[in-house]
Structure 1
Amino acid sequence: MVEDKKSDDYTVDMNKVDQGHKEFEAAPAPSPVPRAVSSMSNNPALPVLAYCGSSIMMTVMNKYVLSGLDFNLNFLLLCVQSLVCIAAIQTCKSMGLITYRDFNTDEARKWFPITLLLIGMIYTGSKALQFLSIPVYTIFKNLTIILIAYGEVLWFGGSVTNLTLFSFGLMVFSSLIAAWADIKHAVESSGDTSSKVSTLNAGYVWMLINCLCTSSYVLGMRKRIKLTNFKDFDTMFYNNLLSIPVLLVLTLLVEDWSSANLARNFPEANRDGIFFAMVLSGASSVFISYTSAWCVRTTSSTTYSMVGALNKLPIALSGLIFFDAPVTFPSVSAIAIGFVSGIVYAVAKIKQNSKPKTGVLPTPVSASSQSMRDSLRS
C-alpha cells in the first residue's frame, strides 16, 4: 500500500521500528554481476536520487488522482494500489530479484490488526491530501513524529534530547504558519470564500486523524515486528494482501458505484491519465521500499535519515510546481521552517544514537503509566 513504503516521513523513527528487522537482502544472483553494473549499484548518489524520486512520484500521482472534481472513491484507489503492489512484488519474487516468506494463516491472523491500522492511516491520509495542498500536507505530517516520540516514551522507554524538543517546536511553528497562510489565501482570493475555508477545515480534521492513525500504526508495528521478525518485503506482502479484501468490501458497501458517480470520478477527457496515475502510485510503493533499503545498504542509516529529512523540501516544492498551491511569503516560509525542523530532528537523533541517552521527554509518570510501560515491554 502507498504509505507502506513511505517511511520517508519517519525515517529516523523507523530505524527503531526495524530493530532486528534487517535490511533488504536480494536473492543470490544466478550469474556473476558485471563490474560496471556492480559499481553503479554501489554508487551512493544513485539510491539517494532513486529514493527521493520515488517519494515525489508517489505523492504527486496521489494528488493528481485525488484532486479531480469531487473524487470520492478513495477505497477503490487504495485497493488498486494494493493490487498493483502485490502483483509487482510477486513478479519480482518469481524472477528471483527479491525474497519474502510465503503466506501463513497464523501469521496473517496476528498481523491483521496492524493492517487495519495501516488502512486507517492511508485512507485518512488520502482524504487529507484531497483537501490540502502538498506543501501543507507535508508540513503537517511532521507532527506525527511528536506523537510517535510520546508513544515511545510511554510504551518503549524512549528518550528525547533538548535539541529534539527544539525541532518539535519548529515543526509546530511551521504547521501554524502553513495553516495561517492557507486560510489567508482562501479568504483573500476570489470566489466562494466560505466554501474554501470549509474545505481547508475538513482537510485539517482529516490530517489530525491521520496523525493519530499513523502514530498508532508505527508504534503497533514496532511491537508486532519484534514478535514476528518480519523483514521489509514480508511487511509489504502481508499489509497489501490482507488489505485487499477489506478495501474491496469497503468500496462496495460505502462508496457510490453508480454510473453517474463513476463518470464524475473518471471523466472521459482524462480517464486514461487517472488510471495510469493510480497504477503508478501503487508501483511507487515498491520503488520506495526497495530504494530505501538500497540507500541504507550503500550508505548508512545515518545518511538515510538525513535524506528523509532533506526529501521534505522537494516533495513540498512539487506541490508548488505541479499544482496550484499558493506561492506566498508565509507559505514559502512554512516550507523552509518545516525543512529546517526535519534537519534539526535528524541531527538530534544522530547525536542521540551516538551516545547514551541523556534528556527525557517531559512527560508525567504516574504509577499507572509505569505499570502500563512494564506490561507493554513484556
Structure 2
Amino acid sequence: MNVARVILVLVFCTFFTASYFTNKYVLSILKFTFPTIFQGWQTSAGTLLLLVTWKLGWVEINGFSRSAAFSQLPGSFLFIGNIYAGSKALSLLPIPFFFVFQNVSEVLAFLIRTATHREKPPWMKLISVCMLLGSASSLMLYNPRFGPSGYTWASIHLFCVGAYRIFQKNTKTILLSDLEEQFINYLTSALLLASLAYSTGDLSGALDFPLLTSYRFYTGCLGSAIFSFCLMLATVKLKGSLSQEHCGIWFFLAKILASGLSLLLSIFHAVLSPVTLCCIILNYAGEALFLYSERFH
C-alpha cells in the first residue's frame, strides 16, 4: 500500500471514530433524543456542504436526469430508516453493542442474496453467520437493561443497512455516482425529516431542551455534522481507491478501533462483564471469518 492510501485509511479511521463519538456524545451524554431534528440537521448540513464543495471544485457532481433521481428514492427511504433507527439505537446502546448489531446486517444481505440466487453457501460463511447471530442474541440475553427499545431500534437499523446494501448491489448503474446518490439521500432525508419533526412534535420538544443555550450542545452538533460529512467523503474515496474486499477489512478495523476507544473513555460509561465482552469478541471474530470467506466465494 502506497503512502497516499495509508493516509486515506488513517483519515477514514479518524473520521469514522470521531463521527460516532460526537453522535454518541450528543445523543447519550447530552441526551438530545430528537432524531428527526438531529438527523435533519446532519442531512441538511451534508446537502449544503456537498453543494459548497462541488461549487469549489473539490468534488465532482454531474447533472443527472429526473428518472435517475427517482430510481434512487427507494434507497433514500432505506437511508432515512438507517439514520433514524441508528440514532435511536446509538442513544440507548454502548458503541460496542451498536456495532455488534450493525455487523448482523451482513447476515441479512447474505441471506437475501442466497435466497434470490439459490446458491449453496460455503461452510465457512455458515459458521460466521452462526457466530454473528449467536453473539448478538447472547448480548440481548445477558444485557436486558438496554432492551427492548434499544434492541428494537438496533434491529430496525440493521435491517435498513442490509436492505440498502442489497439495493445498491442490485440497482447500481452508471447513471449516478456515489456522491450523486448521497446528494439525493441527503436532500430527501432533510426534506422528509423536517416535515416529520413538525408533525411528531419533536420541534417543540427540541425548543424546550435544557441544554439549548449550552456551548457543549452546539459544539457537539456542529462536530457531528462536519465529521459525518467528512466520513462520507472519505468512504467514497476509499471505495474508489480500494477493492470491495479491502474496504470491508478497513471498515472492520475502524469499528474495532472505535469500540476499543469507547471502552477506554470514561465519559461513555461502558463497563462490560466478562460474558458481554466474550459476546463482542465472538461477534468480531464472526465478522472477520465472514470477510475472509468472501475471498473464496
Normalising to structure 1: TM-score of the pair? 0.71
CA drift at 1:351: 2.3
**Residue number among 290, 313, 317 corresponding to 2:233 in the alignment:** 290
Match of 1:11 in 2: none
SS in structure 2 of the partner of residue 264 of structure 1: coil
Residue 46 in 1 paired to residue 7 in 2? yes
CA drift at 1:233: 0.5
SS in structure 1 of the partner of residue 84 of structure 2: helix
**Residue number among 115, 119, 122 corresponding to 2:80 in the alignment:** 119
Q: 1:342 to 1:157 in 2, by over 3 A?
A: same
Rounded Cα–Cα distance in structure 1 between residues aligned with 2:48 and 2:282:
39
Match of 1:310 in 2: 253
- What RMSD in Å do the two structures reach over aligned CA positions? 2.5
Rounded Cα–Cα distance in structure 2 between residues aligned with 1:233 and 1:156:
29
User: Which range is displaced more, 68-77 or 154-163?
Assistant: 154-163
Rounded Cα–Cα distance in structure 1 between residues aligned with 2:119 and 2:181:
24
Rounded Cα–Cα distance in structure 1 between residues aligned with 2:264 and 2:108:
30
Count of residues in Structure 1 that have an aligned counterpart in Structure 2: 295
| Structure 1: gaps of 5 or more residues | 1-38, 184-196, 353-378
Residue 263 in 1 paired to residue 224 in 2? no
Q: 1:166 to 1:332 in 2, by over 3 A?
A: same
**Residue number among 219, 243, 264 corresponding to 1:276 in the alignment:** 219
SS in structure 2 of the partner of residue 244 of structure 1: helix
Residues 260-280 of structure 1 show CA distances to partners (whole Å, capped at 9, x for unaligned) of 753336354xx3222232232
Map 1:89-104 onto structure 2 (within 5 A): 89-102=50-63, 104=65
Match of 1:74 in 2: 35
CA drift at 1:103: 5.5
Q: 1:220 to 1:308 in 2, by over 3 A?
A: same
Residues 312-354 of structure 1 show CA distances to partners (whole Å, capped at 9, x for unaligned) of 21122233233011232223222222221221111111222xx
Instruction: State the AA in 2 paired with 1:127.
Output: K
**Residue number among 274, 293, 297 corresponding to 1:348 in the alignment:** 293
**Residue number among 316, 326, 340 corresponding to 2:271 in the alignment:** 326
**Residue number among 74, 85, 100 corresponding to 2:46 in the alignment:** 85
Rounded Cα–Cα distance in structure 2 between residues aligned with 1:302 and 1:216:
19
CA contact (8 A) 1:84 1:279 kept: no
Identity %: 20
Q: 1:44 to 1:257 in 2, by over 3 A?
A: closer
CA drift at 1:289: 3.0
Q: 1:47 to 1:181 in 2, by over 3 A?
A: farther
Q: 1:159 to 1:243 in 2, by over 3 A?
A: farther
Instruction: State the AA in 2 paired with 1:303.
Output: H
Residues 73-128 of structure 1 show CA distances to partners (whole Å, capped at 9, x for unaligned) of 21011111011111222122112121012364333333223211211121111111
CA drift at 1:156: 5.0
Residue 249 in 1 paired to residue 195 in 2? yes
CA contact (8 A) 2:30 2:217 kept: no
Please say which structure displays the higher CA radius of gyration. Answer: 1
Instruction: State the AA in 1 paired with 2:222.
Output: V
**Residue number among 175, 184, 204 corresponding to 2:151 in the alignment:** 204
Q: 1:164 to 1:87 in 2, by over 3 A?
A: same
Rounded Cα–Cα distance in structure 2 between residues aligned with 1:84 and 1:175:
33
| Structure 2: gaps of 5 or more residues | none
